[in-house]
Structure 1
Amino acid sequence: MPDTQFPTPAARRRPRGGVRAVAAVAVVLALAAGGSYAAGLGPFARGDDGPDPAAMKQARAFLDDWAAGRLPSAAGRTTRPDTAQDVLRSFTAGLDIGKPGLTAKGEPEEAEDGTLTVPFTARMPIGGLGTWTYESALPLREDGDGGWKVDWRLSLVHPRLSGTEKFRLVREETTPPKVTDRHGTSLADGSYPSLTPLLGRIAGGSGGGPRGAVELIDRTTGETVRTEASFGEEPDPATAGEPVRTTLDADWQSAAEKALGEAGGKNAALVALRVDNGEILALANSPATGFNRAASGTYAPGSTWKIVTSSALLLKGAVRPDDVVDCPKYLTVGKEFHNVETSEHPGATFRKDFTESCNTAFISLRGKLDDGELGEVARTYFGVGQEWHVGIPTYDGSVPAPKDETEKAASMIGQGRVQANPLIMASVTATAVSGEFHQPSLTAGNEDRTRTEPLPDGVVTQLRDMLRATVTDGTARSLAGLPGEVGAKTGTAEVSDDQDNNGWLVAHRGNVAVAVVVEEGVTGGGSAGPVVHGLLSAVPDDPA
């Protein structure tokens, strides 16, 4: 499936004579809770207003079919099925594109002729080179029978694809990159599949690694019009041929690759890093080729984000772990939010709200924080949203100020417009249990422009206590049998009506913090839990 991003809140539909009016894509403010989850239950009930469900369903279905390689099905959703199938096949095959990531985003626009245009982001993993990312738009038109079709045109595949210009993939012959783990063990022998697409990036100016480009060419003459995307770097003569030593640990990387097998073939990603200095020990993706979900993905972190929310509340003295914060089944904040399987915990303490991942309790405390305070805490203490220099390209998170009370409620439980990935959430976990943010690193000598403040010792003690209680008495009980003192937080984030929930789990043990996301994993404990358990079982001791 494509990588998950969340559109902005919906505007109400505007009636227009004879044509069904379509408003903005509704924001998915998703349920974020660990443990079991009743499929189909979101955190609030939808009203009758909103986007045309048939149009948006067709747009998402086309993108999903294209991403999954179901090209006949994708083409069948267009106004020109035969042409569409041929073009989609030649585009992906000719450019050696693996499984695309196609994500509808932003607000769709309705033209006067009734055409609906849905913007989307395309992430095209080009075999052995990297990911080509660009923006395009999907036009849809009513088909006369009350349904919708994708109004086929070459420019929807890419804005510059046309009847006169097309794309060509050019590869340069290069020597294999030399990259080792922290102890000098080679990582370039194919034993670590998740690293293969990253080796060129890691090697950088030391030479080696694949190089190539996607060029826009004239269909008639074959001449290059422009270079659309470039991959790899020219080697620095001063360092060419020298191996690059990373912070990775070959044993942890191997265990991480194997642990992702517990995800059952679903798209998933894992990061493990040292708590004391942020050095990345393992970074793994499933599938191993293509987009680097672990460090560049953009996901709602779900209830794992309650670590940051709890920090903000504890820092302000707005709540203490033993304070009673009731956990009702429902809470209405513009929309009706509810808990996993509409569970409730009358008279629960804040500690229990955390360990059982009670959405309504956390949302009820939103008035204790100013509108931009959650983002400020994330940035000031956890480095989220600042510019990180890790050694490879990364997405470093976003926690924008909420636009309204409903979005503020959603941000308290790691939804709305809060965005993160496993690298960010492993770092968040490490910061929470140590009190200090360390910019994650994959190679030595990276520039560090981050500026953060340490968490007070009292807040760290409370966070560690609640994370441990989540393992002993809460939604992460599946980790209770592991050696060592493990603390954890589960998360389950609803994606859309047409997709199962993403499963999350973050954990720490000794000097290591781990974060895992499993796309469409349904629950955090059920999908990400076995992955973390598999990793920590295989490497019971801290790395040297």
Structure 2
Amino acid sequence: MDTQVDFIRTSPGRRRPRRAVMAFTAVAVVAALGVGGTYAAGIGPFADDGPDPKAGAQARAFLADWSAGRLPAAAARTISPGRARQVLGSFTSGLDIEKPQFTAKAPKESDDGTVTVPFTARMPITGLGTWTYTSALPLREQKDGDWKVDWKLSLVHPRLSGTEKFRLEREESKPVEATDRDGDTLSGETHPSLGPVLAQLAARSGGGPRGAVLLVDRTTGDTVRTEAAFGRKPAVKSERPLRTTLDAGWQSAAERALAEADGKNAALVALRIDNGEILAVANSPASGFNRAVSGTYAPGSTWKIVTSSALLLKGAVAPDDVVDCPKYLTVGKKWQNVETSEHRGATFRKDFTESCNTAFISLRGRLGDGELGDVAKKYFGVGQSWHVGVPSYDGAVPSPRDETEKAASMIGQGRVQANPLIMASVTATAVSGTFHQPSLVPGAKDTTATTRLPRKVVSQLRALMRATVTDGTASILAGLPGEIGGKTGTAEVSDDQDNNGWMVAHRGKVAVACVVEEGVTGSGSTGPVLHSLLSAVPES
């Protein structure tokens, strides 16, 4: 799932009401003087430890339900379920919003006891682009102790009200004409996944679809303001087709391969290792949101490529070092491996090839809190601004706020966010040592600045990924021709959804990455997709 609504609180239990804290202020100060300032430091029994965690959990669940299209469930978390369900439905469908994505911030409490959770909304509008704005969820505690979203139109968007609403307007445009890297014609008819992608490319170059989200008066229909505009009129009309870096053969194979995802939402990217040029970008379903490039997902264990790089760079571990892989490890919460597997006395190489979560989490103390993000940005370009040719999400690796988040980031969970484009690029960088900004058009602008990985680290990463295919969780690719390296991943989404499945691989000059939403496991869901793809294209 491509929703980011995570924030982790470790505060135990229900806090005291604010008024109780104020009532005991004098007592707390006196006590602090008698015990060396313990209470003055804000950790005593009368300290205000922030809003009730249940309020934040309800906000997170509301946003997750809204993002996943579970509108009745989202509405049930409000004080006005009927009205909420109607508005959320009309807002999403009326504006052709494919799959909302939300990033929640830390909750804030008001003096009257209400809790507010600010959030950023990213609304992908079919065939046009992404509308991004900020809003906030107000929550109130109910008589039974539960929290509910205090339903208001303005929480959907700050300008949505009883007098003003939004309307989507589109301008008609001619079908986009484009060619692949060899001059072969590309279109949404021959390659369905490219319909939205080519439209975005054309819009960036001054053609393609155009449209706008307008704020209008509910009574008169008059436009109050343009909230978001997409596309622009070309300064000079060009009759030449749009040239891309895509390869028609790879694109066809990628779209056919996604049929192995059994109808689940899925996305795939293939790119050249030596220059970052994108050969294929495919989505299932083919129309609408470009999740391969703009999606936001926890990358799961495929992120262990970056984690391993960080550990190997500073000599914090070596492939033959023993790093035990128990079934469980508790760091703020109980962590486990897929199917609660264990490998006692395993080497780090074995931990990588079997994708051992507990082993990687146990190494968290060997990296500084911000070191994983620094390595991702410095060597892999993750989090820098990419100019791909279409709107893209370029990754996020925030510094962990506590040990639980740090444990999560070691295995590509928590607030670490990526997509198939990013993970194909990560794979290419790992096996070549050099980051190349991915691009869909020749000569794309590049403002990134990265450092080359040391040759020793590259050799170690290549060996680890090769062993994952020959002896580990990516063995589904072992029978294919060529020296293939890979890494699987399984990413938790929520208690209500199955895990997302991931796999990355490289062969010759090409790196690929695939995600299958609710695929349960990486090897089981994305393995057949990449096997189909690599079986259909020649070694390069």
What TM-score range do you get, normalising by the shorter chain?
0.7 to 0.9
What are the ranges of 5 or more consecutive residues in structure 1 without an aligned counterpart? 22-48
Name the count of aligned residue pairs.
512
Q: Deviation of residue 489 (structure 1)?
A: 0.5
Partners of 2:531 and 2:418 in 1: CA distance: 22
Answering whether residue 360 of structure 2 is matched by residue 362 of structure 1, we say: yes
* 1:269 corresponds to which of 248, 267, 270: 267
Higher relative contact order (CA 8 A, sep 6+): 1
> Corresponding residue for 1:317?
315
Q: Quick one: structure 1 residues 78 and 476, their matched pair in 2 at CA, closer, same or farther if it must change by over 3 Å?
A: same
Q: Quick one: structure 1 residues 115 and 499, their matched pair in 2 at CA, closer, same or farther if it must change by over 3 Å?
A: farther
Partners of 1:66 and 1:455 in 2: CA distance: 41
> Corresponding residue for 1:429?
427
Equivalent residues of 2:168, 2:214 under 8 A apart: yes
* 1:505 corresponds to which of 499, 503, 523: 503
Equivalent residues of 2:206, 2:231 under 8 A apart: no
Q: Deviation of residue 215 (structure 1)?
A: 0.7
Partners of 2:71 and 2:418 in 1: CA distance: 31
Equivalent residues of 2:60, 2:104 under 8 A apart: no
1:482-511 Cα offsets, whole Å, 9 max, x none, are 222211101112122222222111111111
> Corresponding residue for 1:140?
139
1:214-254 Cα offsets, whole Å, 9 max, x none, are 111122333222111111122131x5332111111112112
Give SS of 1:124's match: strand
Partners of 1:406 and 1:371 in 2: CA distance: 12
Equivalent residues of 1:179, 1:202 under 8 A apart: no
Partners of 1:450 and 1:538 in 2: CA distance: 33
Equivalent residues of 1:69, 1:99 under 8 A apart: no
Partners of 1:515 and 1:496 in 2: CA distance: 22
Q: Quick one: structure 1 residues 140 and 210, their matched pair in 2 at CA, closer, same or farther if it must change by over 3 Å?
A: same
> Corresponding residue for 2:105?
106
Stretch moving more, 114-123 or 166-175: 114-123
Q: Deviation of residue 11 (structure 1)?
A: 4.9
Partners of 2:436 and 2:327 in 1: CA distance: 38
Equivalent residues of 1:464, 1:487 under 8 A apart: yes
Output the TM-score relative to the length of structure 1.
0.86
Stretch moving more, 526-535 or 341-350: 341-350
Q: Deviation of residue 267 (structure 1)?
A: 2.2
Q: Given residue 154 of structure 1, which amino acid in structure 2 is its aligned partner? A: L
Answering whether residue 92 of structure 2 is matched by residue 92 of structure 1, we say: yes
Partners of 2:503 and 2:58 in 1: CA distance: 32
1:283-339 Cα offsets, whole Å, 9 max, x none, are 122232333221222222221111112222222233222222222233344444333
Partners of 1:337 and 1:71 in 2: CA distance: 31
> Corresponding residue for 2:280?
282
Stretch moving more, 342-351 or 9-18: 9-18
Partners of 1:174 and 1:91 in 2: CA distance: 25
Answering whether residue 377 of structure 2 is matched by residue 379 of structure 1, we say: yes
Equivalent residues of 2:128, 2:200 under 8 A apart: no
Partners of 1:403 and 1:77 in 2: CA distance: 27
> Corresponding residue for 1:128?
127
Partners of 1:167 and 1:275 in 2: CA distance: 44
Answering whether residue 479 of structure 2 is matched by residue 473 of structure 1, we say: no
> Corresponding residue for 1:229?
228
Q: Deviation of residue 381 (structure 1)?
A: 1.8
Answering whether residue 129 of structure 2 is matched by residue 162 of structure 1, we say: no
> Corresponding residue for 1:79?
79
> Corresponding residue for 1:36?
none
> Corresponding residue for 1:514?
512
- Work out the percentage of aligned pairs sharing the same amino acid: 73
Stretch moving more, 318-327 or 210-219: 318-327
Equivalent residues of 1:60, 1:104 under 8 A apart: no
Stretch moving more, 166-175 or 125-134: 125-134
Give SS of 1:167's match: strand
Q: Given residue 337 of structure 1, which amino acid in structure 2 is its aligned partner? A: W
Q: Map 1:396-475; keep pairs closer than 5 Å.
A: 396-475=394-473
Q: Deviation of residue 456 (structure 1)?
A: 2.3
Q: Given residue 250 of structure 1, which amino acid in structure 2 is its aligned partner? A: A
Give SS of 2:98's match: coil
Q: Deviation of residue 176 (structure 1)?
A: 2.3
Partners of 1:258 and 1:368 in 2: CA distance: 43
> Corresponding residue for 1:27?
none
Q: Deviation of residue 374 (structure 1)?
A: 2.3
Q: Deviation of residue 71 (structure 1)?
A: 4.6
Equivalent residues of 1:274, 1:512 under 8 A apart: yes
1:41-75 Cα offsets, whole Å, 9 max, x none, are xxxxxxxx999787566545544554455555544
> Corresponding residue for 1:39?
none
Q: Map 1:171-320; keep pairs closer than 5 Å.
A: 171-204=170-203, 206-237=205-236, 240-320=238-318
Q: Given residue 84 of structure 1, which amino acid in structure 2 is its aligned partner? A: A
> Corresponding residue for 1:40?
none
Q: Given residue 128 of structure 2, which amino acid in structure 1 is its aligned partner? A: L
Q: Quick one: structure 1 residues 425 and 94, their matched pair in 2 at CA, closer, same or farther if it must change by over 3 Å?
A: closer
Q: Deviation of residue 441 (structure 1)?
A: 1.0
> Corresponding residue for 1:30?
none
Give SS of 2:193's match: helix
Stretch moving more, 448-457 or 123-132: 123-132
Q: Deviation of residue 206 (structure 1)?
A: 4.6
Q: Map 1:386-401; keep pairs closer than 5 Å.
A: 386-401=384-399
> Corresponding residue for 1:539?
537
Partners of 1:423 and 1:489 in 2: CA distance: 15
> Corresponding residue for 1:33?
none
Q: Which has the larger radius of gyration?
A: 2
Equivalent residues of 1:102, 1:120 under 8 A apart: no
Q: Deviation of residue 364 (structure 1)?
A: 2.7
Q: Given residue 87 of structure 1, which amino acid in structure 2 is its aligned partner? A: V
Q: Given residue 532 of structure 2, which amino acid in structure 1 is its aligned partner? A: G
Q: Given residue 8 of structure 2, which amino acid in structure 1 is its aligned partner? A: P
Q: Quick one: structure 1 residues 53 and 374, their matched pair in 2 at CA, closer, same or farther if it must change by over 3 Å?
A: closer
What are the ranges of 5 or more consecutive residues in structure 2 without an aligned counterpart? 22-48
Stretch moving more, 203-212 or 270-279: 203-212
Partners of 1:481 and 1:524 in 2: CA distance: 18
Give SS of 2:92's match: helix
Equivalent residues of 1:200, 1:232 under 8 A apart: no
Q: Given residue 513 of structure 1, which amino acid in structure 2 is its aligned partner? A: A
Q: Deviation of residue 14 (structure 1)?
A: 4.5
Answering whether residue 345 of structure 2 is matched by residue 350 of structure 1, we say: no
| RMSD after superposition | 2.8
